[in-house]
A and B are shown apart, each in its own frame.
Chain A
Amino acid sequence: MRYLRIWGRLAIMSFMVQAESFISSFGYLLGKLTRIGFFLFFLFSIFKHTDALVGYTLPEIALFFLTFNIVDILAQLFFRGIYGIRSLIREGDFDYFLIQPTNVLFRVVFHTVDFLDVVTMIPVFFITGYILRQIPGGISAVRLLEYGLLILNGMIIAFAIHIVVAGLAVLTQELENTIWIYRDLMTLGRFPSDIYDAPMRGILTFIVPVAVMVSFPAKAFLGKLDKVWLVQAFTMAMTSLVLSLQFWRFATRRYTSVSS
């Protein structure tokens, strides 16, 4: 509860910062919405000339794209603080976090909340709701539960990746750019993992688990995901979370301060 209150305070502060530069924020917001709109329009246009892509219909392909957006935007919304970790370390804020009576990782991850993503999420949720109704079989409680749990699972993996990036930045005072490698790789999840050949699919499932984070929830909703994969996905998320937290502890133990 205390942490929820702190998060609320941090979120309000972030909102005030963004509201100060209204024109820029508005431009970014419109840009984000335009990107989603253009991609949906592209998919819609493609399906004017074909009935299916790797066996999926238009609503199904749109579901993959929207699921990618949900996971990606939620991760940006909640874990935005990682993007500025280098400056936190360089300017001494990280040292300040270390002496505060709160969890350091919590302070680092949540010290910024991107409110533009809150606004971006609203149309994405509405369109996803509409698309889910278009899928044959409709919305069943079990499918929806599996879909929701796997999105949460994807968020846990995203959180683990963000922790590793933060740990690398603490260890090296550099490499904060690693987060952009993750963001770029995430875009491979815009399309179903079935479009990739076997080696690439393997990489996207086991090495950079974009497919687990994005394709698995959509496939589960479509009833095309084996239960074995469901278990495997949850195991992967838990393992990556535990390992990333261990790495974070390892990195912070070796931190000797660089700025204060």
Chain B
Amino acid sequence: MEGVSLIELDDEQLRSRSWREGLSRRASFLMERFRALVVLVSFYYFWSALLKHRTTFVGYDRNQMITYVLGMNILRSLVFATRTEEIAGEINHGRLSGYLLKPVNFMLYTLFRDLSEKSINLVSAIIEVFGLILIFHVQLQWPQNAQTWLLFLASAVGATWLYFILSFMTGCWGFWTSESWGPRFLLELFLEFTAGAFFPLDVLPQLAQQIIKSFPSPYLVFFPLQIFLGKLNSTQIINGFLMQGFWIMAISGVARLVWIKGMRNYGAVGS
């Protein structure tokens, strides 16, 4: 397979190649999963301690809060797992030229590379969550009907696409600087906190919630989990999808502009 060029691979082959590539970076994959597990365990204990002597906290009972924490682990693995951080390096070292010379859509290539990363992490996250359910005898709050499942899945797909475009765009910073790592670290932290990837955003004061909800980040984790927990009525769900759709379109447009401008700026240094 190593000698085969990208042109000869169909999507399925590309994904399976990326899977094997992902699994070959075992150390970093295991570290990533270990980190996710530590976050999961610490927040499980945190909320369990907080809800030990009370029935609800900011409208969440124990089962709902634990469901949020476990769902958060799964969605983080699906939405935030990415390899778009490699784009900046590919631009800086001129490896991008190799892709441009081939009849391959670079964005689609990175999308499938990301999907493989996401699927490996997702499988691992599901196993971790079921492991914790068995160890701690956790009771989850599952959606009441198939419609809620479908809406949750649709919002999770939207969230995955939204984060992919955002991170693809930040990868394109490599066109202008070889120092995109620091700003990317800052952006990822900001997105994770404001996405509700550590705690439900309802715990924050009203003003902070309103400010955060004017960003695209709540539609990455918080919105899908609110649907999963059945906390939104139909109007809120429609509004949520409209906002998610708006951000997808707006950021896609900006990402396209950034890519076009970046390509004009690209000097293929190092290739």
Q: Which residues of A contact B (CB under 8 A)?
A: 21-31, 34-35, 38, 41-42, 45-46, 48-50, 53-54, 177, 180-181, 184-185, 187-188, 190-191, 194-197, 200
Contact = CB atoms under 8 A, between A and B. Distances in A.
Contacts of B182: 21, 23-31
A180 B179 CA distance: 23
Contact of A24 (B28, B31, B181, B193): B181
Contact of B186 (A31, A46, A187): A31
A191 B205 CA distance: 21
Interface string B228-262: 00000000000000000000000000000000000
A27 B31 contact: no
30 contacts: A21-B182, A23-B177, A23-B182, A24-B179, A24-B181, A27-B182, A27-B184, A27-B185, A28-B181, A28-B182, A29-B182, A31-B182, A31-B189, A34-B186, A38-B189, A42-B198, A46-B203, A48-B205, A49-B57, A50-B50, A177-B31, A180-B35, A181-B31, A181-B34, A184-B31, A184-B34, A188-B38, A191-B45, A195-B48, A195-B49
B45 A45 contact: no
Contacts of A21: 179, 182
A216 to B, nearest CB: 18
Contact of B41 (A26, A46, A180, A188): A188
Nearest to B28: A177
A69 to B, nearest CB: 15
A188 B42 CA distance: 6
B45 A27 contact: no
A219 B161 CA distance: 45
Given A24-B182, A48-B205, 19 more contacts: A22-B179, A24-B179, A24-B180, A29-B182, A34-B193, A38-B193, A42-B198, A42-B204, A45-B205, A177-B27, A177-B31, A188-B38, A191-B42, A191-B45, A194-B49, A195-B45, A195-B46, A195-B48, A196-B45
Interface residues of B, number: 35
Nearest to B209: A45
B263 interface: no
Interface in B159-205: 177, 179-186, 189-190, 193, 198-199, 203-205
B208 interface: yes
A34 B31 contact: no
Contacts of A28: 181-182, 185-186
A34 B189 contact: yes
B133 interface: no
Interface string B15-27: 0000000000001
A67 to B, nearest CB: 16
A153 B58 CA distance: 39
B48 to A, nearest CB: 8
Q: Which of B179, B182, B189, B203 has the most CB of A within 10 A?
A: B182
B49 A49 contact: no
